[in-house]
Amino acid sequence: MLRFVILSLMLLTFSLGVYCKGEPSAPVTAESSVEKVVDVVCKMKIKPDDAMSSMHNGHRYHFCSDYCKEQFDANPAKYVK
């Protein structure tokens, strides 16, 4: 009888263990730690790492595309106050 109880408890513990492993863990995203910058031409938020950039008045501006960079380079004063 005692052996049956112990076996049941072991089975229960095992089942719980499996159940807990099945719980979805909170995904760890590096996304939130990456600082984003705003493309001053289209106002889109972009990651500086994969963006193109231009220097203007000693400040670096980042753009989502060649198009935005060209727009900025053609008339920086329009986008920078």
Give the residues lining the site for Zn ion (CB under 5 A).
39, 41-42, 64, 68
State how far Cα 20 lies from the chain centre. Answer: 27
For the CB of residue 62, give the shortest distance to Zn ion in the complex, in Å. 9
Tell me whether residue 57 or residue 64 sits nearer to Zn ion (CB atom). Answer: 64
> Min. distance of Cβ 29 from Zn ion in angstroms?
24
Minimum CB separation from Zn ion for residue 35, in Å?
17
Q: How far apart are CA 64 and CA 36, in angstroms?
A: 12
Query: Is-contact 53 62, C-beta < 8 A?
Result: yes
